[in-house]
Chain A
């Protein structure tokens, strides 16, 4: 039971519900010291001096480090999408003479307890001479350092003849659009505990997540340590969303300190630190133009945008601008396209990926454009989208550009079919009629709809090892990670499906670098597709072995046998053999305690799920307040391993999308002081702000990667939320006040309504 397609309960929940989970802060080791980071209080400046005398005098303080103590270590490198032009902008693990954002690590205190460490932190006096601050990506280009400006690169994606498209256009529609700075804020802040065993020379770091294998190699390289002397261990993880688990300065620092100080070093980030030190995201300003013919068909699109990268380029390098530029065209034909992404360094917290990176922004921009075209041509917003959709007959559809280093080829889709199904599911015409009647009666209510294309299953590979024990239990060992998304359950279901077992017989081991040699980790909605593909290959080897043995024992041709419900037997009624007996027979032959199979699944392409968001918004015109009456998501996942978990992913993703559309925003003063450093100022949606999310899951376009047909579920709940909510607010206000900026704050909306 619990094979592919079953909405079974999560295997990982019992310890979480019983409070016996083990998160980073729950790990403790005898003799551990607590690390506290002294952070820059100014957004840009030269460090003149750091006085540590008073702090060092506090009883319980063991050591204090400044940049000079770690000057020989390289900066944090790129994990993906690295460009040479970005290398001068990498972040040192402690500031080396210059600070570039409020929150940048400047010094470290190591103390016997975390209270003492915080007492001492306050006494470390950092004297900084202020330098000019850049706070917006569109500000004039300044100096990053003596040799480098604040615009390291412009990323371009182009195909078709954009000039000809504009020459042939009946209408040109232009928009300036802004997506605010927000990010994933996991319930669990970052944390790490490193221990070094002098006797064996082994260094271990607990608290890893997302990409343990990549971080292991990166830390080993930075510390000049053979990688076999370092292992990373993932415990329970309270959310990732792209930001948690990337390699940050603190991860390297605990490892280095454990070796140098000879004691375990623990660092747990507090929420205030988290909101100014962990990656931010979004923060883009777009100028988009469309060449449109008389019928509303878009002949070409040109988009110039500015990405506020913050103070350094971190592990994601060019990932976000690359994805934003590559995937902006979404589900539409757009025969000609040119995007230019200006990557700009500012004096704000460095930015990285956050759930639907580049696509949340790009979908907002593209779908606002489609609404503006509809307005200009006096067309229905659904109609203008329909005539621009790529037809299913054109699949696979090659854009002729790259995204995330892979050719952008939509593998399978039927966009028009999903639109039809969604409109029927919503009772769209009746809904619009009801809203029109309410508007006529004086209410400000409206519905907005937005399409999106997601990506999933990034390669290049995933490895798995299956270990089948005598009693029919199987351990799946993988190099991916769990950030709480249900990896254990969905991978157990695929394994169970392939071996004819119950999913409860499968134990999934992930995030442990000492259990499997390599692994890509959990990001880019890749796990189910890639690890699922590897499981199919490894399970086939075990199945082959077991059925060959069963054929021998049952005296039946092997191709007449199958594994099902823990039994090997014929597909038609007849003699069969229980799995434990069969395994025992195999083990006796091998002289081992388990049957093992390994496999690698490789893919050079991504797979592209897609969907539509619909929001119904009510605007309080006197206050500018927006409330959502309804939120619906249609999503084609190819094939759902566990529909319950898919719906959970979409639900949670929608909450984050709604947060970015209406509430969440990192604000700064003009001199670069962060104003959103607590949950009183950085507003995340609570259950009171969340409408029920109505989910229509379809399986009309199975993936062409691997044999399972699955596409990922991680990000589609977020992608078009900003676009749909903006359209709904537009509609609620009778299209008099076009929404061009996220989040739609009540103050901004009220000012727009009042014409200020």
Chain B
């Protein structure tokens, strides 16, 4: 469990990092918190020839609301979200979600953008970004591209990011008043990869759901939007009966992964449970 040899660079500016990525392309790998990359290298499942450590680039360490979005820079650690970073439903949702990501020492190093770039199917941030309709900023020496979360997640550990690009920030929509969010996941132990998770966002006006989003994670190669399930909620009043209907639909809207922890049937059971629980939490907050 010793990594294979690699060259190491620690640029101080985004421009220097992008220049290194332009030079090394496929051979280069960006190191932020190292939450997944470091153990993967220790197992020699990843063996990048060049490691580009962005931890000294202060310009990427930001987290601030700007207009309609929350802008989160590439060096913002998970732990930053443990207390709400903005007032309103978004800050509360992120604070709820982050407590499910690994453990305190990992949360103090790992980053939101690192999780989005790694695209583990069981990543809480990936599920959250997709559900909320985040925008990701991919920079290279040629300039910036804005990529929607829907286009970002392509497959397991695979995103729209090109080898010469750096994910410099993610923009999460500031949810206005009337939005309520909930999160629920099931795992074997606190901090483990979830076997299933759900993020829900509801816009409720006058006791009626006007808009609804349900995202699922840990159940397929990428996070999934359970659009049909969410559509069942629109125009309804919040309550157990509609929650069950939506959960039932969510449980059958995807092709579940099979692994040693869960059969497809069991994953559908879990989705039923976490969707219901996330919906209950959303209206309880």
Contact = CB atoms under 8 A, between A and B. Distances in A.
A431 interface: no
A544 interface: no
A222 to B, nearest CB: 29
A686 B43 contact: no
Range, interface on chain B: 20 to 34
B142 interface: no
A745 B260 CA distance: 11
Interface string B6-41: 000000000000000000000000000000000000
Given A122-B44, A683-B189, 13 more contacts: A115-B5, A118-B44, A271-B1, A272-B1, A663-B189, A667-B260, A680-B193, A685-B189, A688-B189, A689-B190, A745-B188, A747-B263, A751-B263
Interface in A617-647: 620, 622-625
Contact of B43 (A115, A119, A678, A683): A678
B62 interface: no
A114 B5 CA distance: 12
A623 B2 CA distance: 38
B257 to A, nearest CB: 13
Contacts of A681: 260
Nearest to A625: B186
Interface in B255-275: 260-263, 265-266, 269-270, 272-273
Nearest to B193: A680
Interface in B183-233: 186, 188-193, 195
Given A119-B4, A270-B1, A686 B191 contact: yes
A750 interface: yes
Contacts of A271: 1
Contact of B266 (A114, A620, A750): A750
Contacts of A663: 188-189
Contacts, number: 61
A128 to B, nearest CB: 20
Interface string A85-125: 00000000000000000000000000000110011001000
Contacts of B3: 115
A754 interface: yes
Nearest to B247: A622
Interface of A: 114-115, 118-119, 122, 270-272, 620, 622-625, 663, 667, 675, 678, 680-681, 683, 685-686, 688-689, 745-747, 750-751, 754, 756
Contacts of A623: 186, 269-270, 273
Nearest to B1: A270
B193 to A, nearest CB: 7
A448 B195 CA distance: 28
A609 to B, nearest CB: 31
Given A119-B5, A272-B1, A622 B269 contact: yes
A119 B6 CA distance: 12
Given A114-B2, A747-B262, A683 B192 contact: yes
A689 B190 CA distance: 7
A686 B5 contact: no
Which among A114, A622, A683, A685 has the greatest number of chain B C-beta atoms within 10 A? A622
Given A114-B2, A119-B5, A754 B269 contact: yes
Nearest to A675: B260
A103 to B, nearest CB: 14
Contacts of B192: 680, 683
A622 B273 CA distance: 6
Contacts of A272: 1, 43
A7 B233 CA distance: 61
Contacts of B1: 270-272
Contacts of B260: 667, 675, 681
B191 A750 contact: no
Secondary structure call for the A interface:
loop
B66 to A, nearest CB: 37
B174 to A, nearest CB: 32
Contact of A751 (B2, B44, B195, B266): B266
Nearest to B47: A122
A689 B189 contact: yes
A747 B266 contact: yes
B44 to A, nearest CB: 7
Contacts of A686: 189-191
Contacts of A688: 189-191
Contacts of B4: 119
23 contacts: A114-B2, A115-B2, A118-B2, A270-B2, A271-B1, A272-B43, A624-B269, A625-B186, A680-B192, A680-B193, A681-B260, A683-B189, A686-B189, A686-B190, A688-B189, A688-B190, A688-B191, A689-B189, A745-B261, A746-B188, A747-B261, A747-B266, A756-B265
Contacts of A675: 260
B157 to A, nearest CB: 15
Which among A667, A685, A747 has the greatest number of chain B C-beta atoms within 10 A? A747
A220 B195 CA distance: 51
A691 to B, nearest CB: 13
Contacts of A756: 265
A683 B188 contact: yes
A45 to B, nearest CB: 23
A679 to B, nearest CB: 10
Contacts of A747: 261-263, 266
A524 to B, nearest CB: 31
A490 to B, nearest CB: 33
A348 B43 CA distance: 21
A745 B261 CA distance: 9
Contacts of A667: 260
B272 A622 contact: yes
A114 B1 CA distance: 10
B68 to A, nearest CB: 37
Contacts of A750: 266, 269
Nearest to B265: A756
A270 B3 CA distance: 12
B166 to A, nearest CB: 27
Closest 4 CB pairs of A and B: A688-B190, A622-B273, A270-B1, A115-B2
A680 B44 CA distance: 16
Nearest to A746: B188
A57 to B, nearest CB: 16
A675 B260 CA distance: 8
Nearest to A685: B189
Contacts of A622: 269, 272-273
Contacts of B261: 745, 747
Contacts of A745: 188, 261
Contacts of B266: 624, 747, 750-751
A675 B189 CA distance: 18
B197 to A, nearest CB: 12
Nearest to A667: B260
B200 to A, nearest CB: 17
Contacts of A678: 43
A680 B261 CA distance: 12
Contacts of B263: 747, 751
A253 to B, nearest CB: 19
Contacts of A624: 266, 269
Contacts of B193: 680
Nearest to A678: B43
B130 to A, nearest CB: 23
Nearest to A114: B2
Contacts of B270: 623
A620 B269 CA distance: 12
Nearest to A688: B190
Interface in B48-65: none
Contacts of A683: 188-189, 192
Nearest to A122: B44
A746 B273 CA distance: 13
Interface string B73-99: 000000000000000000000000000
A680 B43 CA distance: 12
Contacts of A620: 273
A695 B193 CA distance: 33
Nearest to B266: A747
A624 B267 CA distance: 12
